Structure 1
Amino acid sequence: MPKADATNALVILLSLTERFTEDRPLEEFLKAVTDAAVSLVEADHASIRLLTNDTLLSSARSGTGTEGPPVEFRRGDGIIGWVVDNKEPAMVGDVTQDPRYRYYPGQTFDIRSMIAEPLWASEEVTGVLSVTSPAIGAFNAQDQLLMRLLANCSAPAIERARLKRLAMFDHITMAFTHRYLYPRMAEEMERALRSRSPLSVLLMDLDHFKLVNDRHGHAVGDDTLRLFSDRVRGMVRRVDVLVRRGGEEFVLIMPATDESQALATAARIQQNLSEHTLQVGGGIALRQTVSIGVATWDGRETPEALQERADAAMYEAKRAGRDRVVTSDPPAALKA
């Protein structure tokens, strides 16, 4: 694709800024920016990495090489990390001659030229927008100016979307908050109807969790919630959605999952937690169990009704002795 001339560049930037006025997910904003970057400067590859703690996580990619696993940088690593540490942009004509450059095994595309621009929010660098090319000296001062303009135009909208996303997450477990539960369930129900696929939910409640707080304190309780969430995320698919409903209760929304598949996943979670301790703060190896209710959508229920069935199954697991999985009865209309 040829580089955009002045008119085309303005059209690309105007179209992008119009999208920033819309209420869209963070991922859509980021992908729109990397797409625009490729078009503006005839880049082979464009990416946005957002700073999380000290790690720069790849959040959007466009162009070639997007099929491979993303490369993560730590603050100070490579040219990308240098941009964050020094709060300055970088344009490099041949990265192989630059001492800041780091090659990472598994990189699926060639890099010789690079522009990297910081993304700013409240006078702090929150990420890096970068473009690369396999050709030496592929970018010029005008390209760098366009990239800076793109980064400066994009950063406020990206930050708004990022903060909105953060507000949907529980700060202890990084699971979604309860406010996200019913809207996401409704969204998955619509998707299940369109694709004619099943949908299941797990309602998980940590057994005797109050005793953890009473005996060990709330810091250990928070550790327990966080480690449980991490363990669940490590055992399920990326498309599954973990929500902290409140306290020690969690909901796992499982698209394209029938009852037998949901039961199998629930059993793995329950058995794993029962058989392996959680290494919480203070060197404590905590043995924690969970009771799980499973419900599969009938194709007509509301999100509230589906959750109520999962809830009832979970309480049946509690009554039966805890540390077990119980599946919900079908809705009354189906039993008639």
Structure 2
Amino acid sequence: MPRLPRARLAFTLLVGVIGWGALVAWTLAAPSTAAPHLGPVTFGVFLLVILATRVMAFRIVPDSVLSLDTGFHVAASAALGPLAAGQLVAFALTIDSLVRFVGARHRRGGERFAYVLYFGGLTGALVAWSAWLVGPPTDLHTELEVTWRVLAIGGVLRVVHNAFQGVRQALGGRPLTAFLRTQALPGMVAELALLPLAAVVVVLYHGERMLGFALLAGTYVLINLVFNRLSRTSHALRARVRELEILDTTARGLASSLELPELVSTVARETLRAIPSAETMALVHRGAEREVDRFVVDSYDGDRDEFQRMRIGRTDGAVGRVVAEQQPLALDDQPDGVRSWLGVPIFLHGACEGVLVVQSRQAGAFTAQDRRLLESLALQVAAALENAHLYEMAMVDGLTGLFVRRYFDARIEEEIERSRRYGTPFAVVMMDIDDFKRLNDTHGHLAGDRVLRDVATIVKQQMRGVDTAARYGGEELALILPRTELVSALNQAERVRVALADHRVATGDDGPVLAVTASFGIAAFPESGAQTAEELVRRADRALYRAKKSGKNRVELYWSDDSGGHTALTAN
């Protein structure tokens, strides 16, 4: 939970100080009026009822709870007098706020102190002021007068208290109309409905019918208990409906995500939408390569709208604990500023094949409900991951782990459409291993397979997460580089070329160690002037042909000059 805005915190502290100051000043100025009828039994009954109603408070909006205690505050003011009631209410609510906020880990020390002052000081001062404003309690000769006084004090108290709460909510960034609609008006209706009961409490108290007074006070507590249970049941039902809606939306999104990058994006956004307290998430899985001892971590930062990919060992850190124990895990105060960490296992065919993780920079950010929802999401993610892996098995070359040509053809059409719609460039790189036929003839096809696998590994290591690499045919590879202009594509291809030239391929225990190079041809869209995918690939092929004819182990560019003719440039 984020820190309170400074203006709201200052207002909370100031109002609390003023409220307590007013009570203390009144007590010092007129000590004889502090508690004219307040004995220990009476004090205990009023205090217990007020505390009991606070314990049964229920949440109607985030960061705010409602307790139906106004009626008993008013009853205390009509029965005991303004100052005595104000002191009693301030004392009771201070105890309640201390219990609530001192242990609240998501609140900082200054915020907790301000809350304690505010809840006790403001409400106690308003109870005393409202009773004083309506008039002295000495004129209560009839039940009608008692009822009028209780209703008048209750009305004034609720209106003024809601005015302070409205200002405080507005300083926190909440619209006043939302406060009135969801909190002030419903709360006022519920509180005012119990004021007739408060009037009966006062009548019994003044009539010294203490048994009836105590029984009615107990009834007041039971009414609060009923409201509390109804509110909790309603909240649980609304939460469950929300969970089902989220799971339905997520299921439909995942069902249409067969490609792993699209799946990761869908999982990331739906997870953060489902669990608002999460700031970042991570999908930990085995990836397209299905490595046995390593995981791919696709993380998403919701604040920055940024994806990152890394690899970790299967037994590393908190993820390793989740995999080993095959149970959800919640941790606090992790490295890198993570105060809350929650991970649940992803099961495929009975085995833990990944972990779904949410993180927050706030302590105690995740609830049991969040954990249950994350586990439900993990079940859907597991099915989607299996579908994505099956799809990749059909779209991935078994030898190199690169995509097959059919997938490349579909992706290049998508990139052309995206480029035309949004005006973003992209580049195609055609890559051919130099002298591969002679290598096969000299060292055999097994050595050739090793070379292809090593080359594919180097290509994948040098690529970004959004790039696509495919085995186009034989020893020829094709790369799609989204959002990449011609010069940037040159730099990326050059990195691959250098990494490959520095690499040595071991062909076996007794076989030779081979030096392998490759030639590259690049064409960009729309810079090359190509109108179709076929034309774009053909122009990248022409640049590749020039690289082969110019000595191999080089990168050549194809671009359109200002006059509309086409020229190939060489880059070493």
Q: Tell whether 2:89 aligns with 1:89.
A: no
Q: How far, CA to CA, are the matches of 2:281 and 2:254 in structure 1?
A: 19
Shift in Å at residue 239 of structure 1?
A: 4.3
Q: Tell whether 2:343 aligns with 1:116.
A: yes
What corresponds to 1:15 in structure 2?
A: 249
What corresponds to 1:6 in structure 2?
A: 240
Shift in Å at residue 66 of structure 1?
A: 7.3
Q: Tell whether 2:462 aligns with 1:223.
A: no
Q: Tell whether 2:412 aligns with 1:185.
A: yes
Which of residues 191, 211, 215 is equivalent to 2:438? 211
What corresponds to 1:130 in structure 2?
A: 357
Q: Tell whether 2:379 aligns with 1:152.
A: yes
1:73–1:81: 8 Å Cα contact kept in structure 2?
no
Q: How far, CA to CA, are the matches of 1:146 and 1:260 in structure 2?
A: 46
Which of residues 393, 397, 407 is equivalent to 1:170? 397
Larger Rg: 2
Q: Tell whether 2:519 aligns with 1:280.
A: no
CA distance change for structure 1 residues 150 and 201 in 2, over 3 Å: closer, same or farther? Answer: closer
When normalised by structure 1's length, the TM-score is: 0.77
Q: How far, CA to CA, are the matches of 1:76 and 1:22 in structure 2?
A: 32
For 1:292, what is the secondary structure of its paired residue?
strand
Shift in Å at residue 300 of structure 1?
A: 4.5
For 1:174, what is the secondary structure of its paired residue?
coil
What corresponds to 2:298 in structure 1?
A: 59
Q: How far, CA to CA, are the matches of 2:339 and 2:475 in structure 1?
A: 47
Q: Deviations over 1:173-230 (max 9, x none)?
A: 3322211222211222223323435443222211221232333333332221232233
Q: How far, CA to CA, are the matches of 1:14 and 1:272 in structure 2?
A: 46
Percent of aligned pairs with the same amino acid: 32
Q: Deviations over 1:50-109 (max 9, x none)?
A: 1343222222435568759667542223332122233x21243x546xxxxxx55xx3x3
CA distance change for structure 1 residues 165 and 142 in 2, over 3 Å: closer, same or farther? Answer: same
CA distance change for structure 1 residues 223 and 260 in 2, over 3 Å: closer, same or farther? Answer: same
Shift in Å at residue 329 of structure 1?
A: 8.0
Shift in Å at residue 312 of structure 1?
A: 3.5
For 1:184, what is the secondary structure of its paired residue?
helix
Q: Deviations over 1:238-261 (max 9, x none)?
A: 544322101110122234445555
1:75–1:85: 8 Å Cα contact kept in structure 2?
no
For 1:76, what is the secondary structure of its paired residue?
coil
Name the aligned partner's letter for residue 523 of structure 2: A
CA distance change for structure 1 residues 121 and 214 in 2, over 3 Å: closer, same or farther? Answer: same
1:31–1:62: 8 Å Cα contact kept in structure 2?
no
Comparing 263-272 with 155-164, which one deviates more in the overlay?
263-272
Name the aligned partner's letter for residue 279 of structure 1: V
Which of residues 285, 298, 317 is equivalent to 1:50? 285
Q: How far, CA to CA, are the matches of 1:201 and 1:9 in structure 2?
A: 43
Q: How far, CA to CA, are the matches of 2:441 and 2:391 in structure 1?
A: 34
Which of residues 260, 265, 268 is equivalent to 1:26? 260
Shift in Å at residue 167 of structure 1?
A: 3.2
Identify the structure with the greater helix proportion: 2
For 2:401, what is the secondary structure of its paired residue?
coil
Q: How far, CA to CA, are the matches of 2:543 and 2:306 in structure 1?
A: 41
For 1:58, what is the secondary structure of its paired residue?
strand
Comparing 310-319 with 11-20, which one deviates more in the overlay?
310-319
Q: How far, CA to CA, are the matches of 1:243 and 1:209 in structure 2?
A: 18
Q: How far, CA to CA, are the matches of 2:467 and 2:432 in structure 1?
A: 18
CA distance change for structure 1 residues 5 and 25 in 2, over 3 Å: closer, same or farther? Answer: same
1:117–1:148: 8 Å Cα contact kept in structure 2?
yes
2:347–2:354: 8 Å Cα contact kept in structure 1?
yes
2:430–2:540: 8 Å Cα contact kept in structure 1?
yes
CA distance change for structure 1 residues 140 and 242 in 2, over 3 Å: closer, same or farther? Answer: closer
Shift in Å at residue 334 of structure 1?
A: 4.4
Q: How far, CA to CA, are the matches of 2:394 and 2:454 in structure 1?
A: 21
Which of residues 472, 481, 489 is equivalent to 1:254? 481
Q: How far, CA to CA, are the matches of 1:186 and 1:20 in structure 2?
A: 23
2:524–2:559: 8 Å Cα contact kept in structure 1?
no
Q: How far, CA to CA, are the matches of 2:419 and 2:391 in structure 1?
A: 26
For 2:355, what is the secondary structure of its paired residue?
strand
Which of residues 283, 306, 319 is equivalent to 1:80? 319
1:79–1:90: 8 Å Cα contact kept in structure 2?
no
1:241–1:252: 8 Å Cα contact kept in structure 2?
yes
What corresponds to 2:519 in structure 1?
A: 291
CA distance change for structure 1 residues 256 and 115 in 2, over 3 Å: closer, same or farther? Answer: closer
Q: Deviations over 1:270-293 (max 9, x none)?
A: 56645x342324374312232333
Q: How far, CA to CA, are the matches of 1:76 and 1:32 in structure 2?
A: 26
When normalised by structure 2's length, the TM-score is: 0.49
2:300–2:308: 8 Å Cα contact kept in structure 1?
no
1:294–1:326: 8 Å Cα contact kept in structure 2?
yes
CA distance change for structure 1 residues 136 and 270 in 2, over 3 Å: closer, same or farther? Answer: closer
Larger RCO: Structure 1 or Structure 2 (Cα < 8 Å, ≥ 6 residues apart)? 1
List alignment gaps of at least 5 residues for structure 1: 97-102
Comparing 129-138 with 146-155, which one deviates more in the overlay?
129-138
Q: Deviations over 1:286-311 (max 9, x none)?
A: 12232333334444521112212332
1:178–1:244: 8 Å Cα contact kept in structure 2?
yes
